[in-house]
C-alpha cells in the first residue's frame, strides 16, 4: 500500500457495513479524532524538552480537534447525535504491544509511542481512502478524501520524529516489526461500522 507500507488492505466491502449505520461511523470517527488530539498532548507532556516536536505536535493536536469539530458538524447537520465514546479494540491491541515493546528507557518509550501513533494514522488514512473511493454518499466521499491527506501528513510527522529521536534504536527494524504485528491484528477487523472495526 505504497508509502504507508501496510501489509493487509481493507476489503472494500467493509464500506457496505458502514453505510448501514452512518450515525455509528460518524460517532466513532469523532471520538477517534478526540483521542488522537489527546495522544499528541500526552507525547508533548512527556517529551517537552524537544521544542520542534512540541511545536509540530501542538499543530497536529489542533488539527485533530478541528477534525472532531468537522465530524460533529456533519452529525448535527444530518439531524443525528454524537453518541458516547466508543472503545477501540484495535487501538487497545496496539497500545498493549507498545507497552510490551518498550525497554523502559525514555528514548525507547518515545520511539514506541511515536510508532504506535504512526501506525494508527497509517491505518486511519487507508480506511479513509477506502471510504472516499467506495461510499455512495457524495459529501462523505469528498470529506474522507480530504481527511485522508491530512492523516498521511500526521503519519509522516510521527515517523520522522521516531527516526530523529530514536538514538541507538534501529527504528526501521522496529517499524517493520510494527507493520508485521499490525497485519496480524487488522486481519480480525473490518466487520463493524467503526473506523478501525
pLDDT tens-digit map of 129-176 = 999 999 999 999 999 999 998 889 999 999 999 999 999 999 999 999
Q: Which residues of the chain have pLDDT under 70?
A: 1-2
Task: Report the alpha-carbon distance of residue 52 to residue 126 in Å, rounded.
Answer: 27
CA-closest candidate to residue 181, choices 121, 105, 129, 115: 115
pLDDT, residue 163, reads 98
Give the residue among 99, 118, 112 at the shortest CA–CA distance from 159.
118
pLDDT of residue 2: 64
Query: What's the pLDDT score for residue 14?
Result: 96
For domain 14-187, the CATH architecture is Up-down Bundle (1.20)
Among 16, 177, 196, 12, residue whose Cα is nearest residue 98: 177
Residue 23, C-beta contacts closer than 8 angstroms, at least 6 positions apart:
75, 78, 80, 81, 83
Amino acid at each position: 500500500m505504497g508509502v504507508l507500507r501496510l501489509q493487509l488492505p481493507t476489503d472494500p466491502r467493509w464500506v457496505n457495513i458502514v453505510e448501514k449505520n452512518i450515525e455509528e461511523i460518524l460517532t466513532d470517527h469523532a471520538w477517534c479524532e478526540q483521542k488522537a488530539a489527546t495522544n499528541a498532548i500526552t507525547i508533548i507532556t512527556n517529551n517537552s524538552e524537544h521544542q520542534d516536536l512540541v511545536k509540530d505536535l501542538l499543530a497536529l493536536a489542533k488539527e485533530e480537534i478541528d477534525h472532531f469539530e468537522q465530524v460533529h458538524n456533519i452529525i448535527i447537520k444530518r439531524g443525528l447525535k454524537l453518541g458516547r465514546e466508543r472503545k477501540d479494540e484495535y487501538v487497545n491491541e496496539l497500545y498493549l504491544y507498545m507497552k510490551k515493546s518498550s525497554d523502559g528507557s525514555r528514548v525507547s518509550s518515545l520511539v514506541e509511542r511515536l510508532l504506535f501513533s504512526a501506525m494508527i494514522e497509517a491505518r486511519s488514512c487507508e480506511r479513509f481512502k477506502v471510504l472516499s473511493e467506495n461510499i455512495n454518499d457524495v459529501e462523505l466521499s469528498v470529506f474522507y478524501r480530504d481527511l485522508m491527506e491530512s492523516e498521511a501528513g500526521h503519519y509522516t510527522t510521527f515517523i520522522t520524529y521516531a527516526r530523529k529521536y530514536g538514538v541507538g534504536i534501529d527504528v526501521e527494524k522496529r517499524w517493520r516489526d510494527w507493520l508485521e504485528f499490525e497485519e496480524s491484528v487488522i486481519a480480525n477487523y473490518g466487520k463493524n461500522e467503526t473506523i478501525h472495526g
